[in-house]
Amino acid sequence: MNLRYASSLLCAAGLAGAAQAAPAPAQVSAADAAAFSSCLSQLRGQALQQGVAAGTFDAHTRGLTPDMSVIASLDAQPEFKTPIWDYLAALVDDERVADGQQALRQWHAELARAQAQFGVDPATVVAVWGVESNFGKKLGGRPLLTSLSTLSCFGRRQAYFRGEFFATLKIIQQEHVRPERLNGSWAGAFGQTQFMPSTYLRLAVDFDGDGRRDLVDSVPDALASTANFLQRAGWKAGMPWGFEVTLPAGLDTSAAGRRNKRPMSAWAAQGLKRADGGALPAGDLQAGLLLPAGPTGPAFLVTRNFDAVYSYNAAESYALAIAHLSDRLRGAGPFVRAWPTDDPGLSRAERRELQSLLIARGFDIGEPDGLIGARTREALQTMQRQAGLPADGRAGLKSLQWLRDNAGQPPAALNAPPAD
C-alpha cells in the first residue's frame, strides 16, 4: 500500500502542494449524525486495542461531528486530466526554484546535518518540501480528527482511514500535540512535508532537540523526517536519481518502464546518451527508461533513488517533479527536449496573470491564486469558445496569449453568446 495514499489522491485531483482552505462545514443530516455517533462508539474498543487510552479517545471525540465534504473528495473522479507538461510547469517554475534556493541557504546547517545522518542531499529534501507545501505556505486547513473520523465511518477504505484516525489520537497522546495544530489535507496528510499520521509515528524525528517531533512548526524536524523517509525507502547516498537522455532513431521502446531496469552499459550499447552531452555512467548501475509523454517527449533513465522518491507519493509525474526541481535547485536548466505539444503549460505566475485577465473580463473566479479550479475552468471554456480554441477549460499558453492580445476588448463582447 502506498505509504502516502492521501497525497496520491491529491495529485490525482490537481497539483501537489496546492492545499486549499477547508470549505465551510455543511449541515449534517440527522441520519448521518446518528450513524457517525454509533460508529464512534464502535471505534472506541478498536482504538483502545491499538494503544489509544480511553481518556484520550473520549476527550477528543466528544463533540466531533462529521464533515461529509471529505466523502465527496474521496469519491471525486476528476474530469480534468492534467497533462504532464501542465503539472510540471506549475510545480517546477522559476518562482519555486528561487524560493527553494533561498531555503537551501537559510537551512544550510540543518540540511547538512540531515545529509550526514540520513545520506539524502539537501536539494532533494528541499524539493519535497517545495512541492508538498510550497515551503510551509500551504499546510492545509482541515482538522485531522474531523476528516479522519468521518472517513473512518463513511465511504470507501474505512479500514485504512481508521488506522490513520487512531494514529492521530496517538500523536496527541504520545507527543502532546494540541489537536488544533493537526490540520492538513482532506485525507489526513499534515505538516511541512505532508506526512500521514501513521508515517509520522514510524518515521518522524526530533531534529531540533526540543524533545518533540513537530512537523508543523519545526522546519528542522520536517526536513530531517523527510530525509529519514527517503533513506528508509531505499535512497542511496551519491547515486543520481537519473537524468534526461536522448534516444537513437529506431530504438525499440516496448520495454520502457521504471521497473524494467538494465545496466547503464546496456543502455549505452543501445545508443542512449545524456541529453546534456555527458556520457552515461560506466558500470552496472541499474536504470529504467521512463517516457512520461511517449518516445516523442523527454526521456529519462531513472535509478533506485527515483523509486525512493516515487514511494513518497506513488505517481511517476510526482517523482519526476521532485527530481527535476532538485536538479534546478542545483543550478541545472529546463529539460533539453520539449514536450510534444504546441500549447505548453503555464507557470504559477502565468496562471495568476491568466486569472487576472479573466477577472478583468468580468468573470467571477475569485482571487488570482494560480490554482486552476472549477470556476477558472468554466470561465476559460467560455473564453475559448469565443477565441475559436478547444473549449476544454485548460490553462495553456494559447489561451493566455489570446487574453493578452485581446486585453482591450470590452468584457461584454467576450461574454456574449457566439454569433450564428
What residues are labeled active site?
Answer: 132
The CA-CA-CA angle for residues 181, 6, 24, to 5°, reads: 55
Between CA 186 and CA 149 the distance in angstroms is 11
Task: Show the cell assigned to 106.
Answer: 537559510
Nearest C-alpha neighbor of 242 from the set 226, 258, 231: 258
Contacts of 67 (CB under 8 A, 6+ apart): 22, 25, 26, 142, 146, 147, 150
Q: Residue 98 phi/psi, 5° resolution? A: -60, -45
DSSP states along 258-288: EEEEEEHHHHHHTT-EETTSPPPPPS--EEE
Between CA 342 and CA 212 the distance in angstroms is 51
Between CA 294 and CA 310 the distance in angstroms is 19
Task: Show the cell assigned to 295.
Answer: 518516445
